[in-house]
Amino acid sequence: MKYTIRMLTLTVLSLFVSLSAVFAMPATKASLMDESFDLSSIHSIAVAAPNYIQTKTGPAPDAVTALIAQTGFDSRDLKNITIIPYSVIAENMKNESGIDLQTSDRNTAKKLFKENAAKYADAYLVVTIANDSRVVLFYDLYSSKTGSYLYSYRVIGGGQGDNNINSYKSFNELFYKGLSDSIKEQHKDDSKTKK
C-alpha cells in the first residue's frame, strides 16, 4: 500500500513538472538600441517581409507576414501607432514606380523596401524567425529616415511544437506589448531625469 501511494505521488509530481514546463511563458528580452531616440515619436511602422524559411510543418511565409501586421492592428497596447502591412507598401510601390516587391528576388526586395520605407512610415520592422530545434523570433525596429537601429525584442519559444501560426500570433502580441511597455518606460525615465 505504501509503495502504491509513493508511486502515485511520484507520478503526480512528474506530471505537474512536465505540464508546468509545457505551459511556461516564452522567454523575452527587450533592448533599446539608441538611447537618444524617442520611441514615442514613431507614429507609423511598416512591416517588412520577415526573414523566414518555411519548414515542413511551419506556416506559409505570406501568412506569417500578414499575421505580424494583423497582430499590430489588433493590439490594444499600441496607441497612436499605425501598422502598415508589407502588402500595402508593395502595392503602393508598384503603383508609384512600377517596382514589384512581390516578384523581386528576396535581396532586391529587402533593399528596395528599406530605400522606400521612409515614404510610408516613421520606422520599419524586420522579424527574423529561427525555427530549428527551438522557435526564436527577433523583432528589429529601424528608423525609416536614417536607417538606424532603434529597438530589439527577442522571444524564445519552445520546440517545434511552437512552429505554428497560433504561437507566432502570441509571440507577436508579446512584442507589441513589449514595445508599448518600453515606450512607457522611456517616458518614465525621461520624466525622472527632468526633475
Domain ranges of the chain: 22-194
Question: Any bridge partners for residue 149, and if so which?
Answer: 142
Low-confidence ranges of the chain (pLDDT < 70): 1, 3, 6-25, 160, 189-195
**What is the predicted pLDDT for the residue at 30?**
83
The set of residues, in sequence order, having a beta carbon less than 8 Å from that of 79 and lying 6+ positions away, is: 180
**What is the predicted pLDDT for the residue at 186?**
82
**What is the predicted pLDDT for the residue at 56?**
83
**What is the predicted pLDDT for the residue at 21?**
46
**What is the predicted pLDDT for the residue at 190?**
58
**What is the predicted pLDDT for the residue at 20?**
43
- Provide the residue type at 164 as one letter: N
Question: Any bridge partners for residue 45, and if so which?
Answer: 83, 123
User: Cα 34 to chain center, whole Å?
Assistant: 18
**What is the predicted pLDDT for the residue at 153?**
94
**What is the predicted pLDDT for the residue at 191?**
59
**What is the predicted pLDDT for the residue at 77?**
82
User: What's the topology of domain 22-194?
Assistant: Rossmann fold (3.40.50)
Please calculate the CA angle 188-149-130 and round it to the nearest 5 degrees: 105
